[in-house]
Amino acid sequence: MDQLKFVVEASEAESITQKLGLPSVRHLLPALVQPAQSLAHPPISNYHVAAVGLGSDGRIFLGVNLEFPGLPLHYSVHAEQFLLTNLAVHRCPRLLAFAVSAAPCGHCRQFLQELRNPSDLQIHITSQKTNPNDVTFEPLRDILPNPFGPFDLLDDETPLLLERHNNGLSLSDLANGFVNSQSNGSDKNGSTSTSTTLLRVAALEAANDSHAPYSGCPSGVAVMDCEGKIYKGSYMESAAYNPSLGPVQAALVSYVAGGGGGYERIVAAALVEKEAAKVRQEDTARLFMKLVSPKYLIVTVKLVAVHVIHASFCPLHIKAGKFNFLDESAPQNDNS
């Protein structure tokens, strides 16, 4: 098998299953867990976790844990969160089953409750199987009895995680207040007007896809690498609040799953959220991106919209070998 990818197309999954002589694609999931663990990024714990899931469209999706030195531990991304974000980014409407290297923590069991009919989700825990030929799955309800979730708080018409959302956000002014400075005139190290517009639009799309039924505060983040490729992620809430996944983490999941490479290759980012949101992501996004990618400096831009949208940009500004902070509240010098 070639190098493992974060998304395995349905035809390829069927082909691998046949080559290995397995009875079904579902039996392939546990076989992929160990190689998937090598894709994890846990520099703090050095504990590699992987979750490999089967989507309703026949594709296989991978999830791994991500940790971020210098940030509090609760900013970490669990493998199951990565897995669901990977499905969401690739528009897969349902997770049928997944195999995971260790029993899901309570945090992840709760996050999985945001799916439709979560109790029926089938799980295989490889660390609990002494016989590699034992490919049995158990429903989530067996490891999370008496659950609490969206069915306790929302009506049946509210879209849940992985289902289509449209939060009705729109931007009417994509250029107000943005100052961009580049030292070498190269698009590779900064953001052109066109690229920043594309970045904002991607962040808006992510915000409109956001699952935020409890706070009513959708948000989305888009990041751009040094080659101009854009990766986006949506804020995903949990009925229990704390297991919610922030939009920056979701965008970095998209970046890792999309083969973006090291975080230092990210040169710009945008956050879109409501102006007067009760749950705001801006300060967290500033802290997160500054520590994950030290090149980041953040310029805040306020945009006029049907719903007033707030967007934060993190373009790379380098001049004379040092970073220059640009703040919208301070006088700007176009010649800087």
Find out whether 114 is annotated in a ligand binding site: no
Given a contact cutoff of 8 angstroms between Cβ atoms, the answer to whether 24 and 10 are in contact is no
Bridge partners of residue 100, in order along the sequence: 51, 125
60 Cβ contact list (under 8 Å, min separation 6): 7, 8, 13, 25, 28, 29, 32, 52, 53, 54
Given a contact cutoff of 8 angstroms between Cβ atoms, the answer to whether 305 and 171 are in contact is yes
Query: Of 327, 303, 329, 331, whose CA–CA distance to 197 is shortest?
Result: 303
Residue 19's H or E segment, with its range, is helix 10-19
Give me the sign of the Cα torsion angle 189, 195, 200, 203: negative
Catalytic residues: 80
Query: Of 218, 228, 219, whose CA–CA distance to 186 is shortest?
Result: 228
The vertex-200 CA angle with 330 and 274, nearest 5°, equals 75
Query: Of 309, 307, 327, whose CA–CA distance to 317 is shortest?
Result: 327
Find out whether 310 is annotated in a ligand binding site: no
The vertex-223 CA angle with 321 and 198, nearest 5°, equals 105
Q: Beta strand 95-100 with 122-125: parallel, antiparallel or unpaired?
A: parallel
Helix (H, G, I), strand (E, B) or coil at 110: helix
Find out whether 124 is annotated in a ligand binding site: no
Find out whether 65 is annotated in a ligand binding site: yes
- Binding site as annotated, residues for substrate: 65-67
- Binding site as annotated, residues for Zn(2+): 78, 105, 108
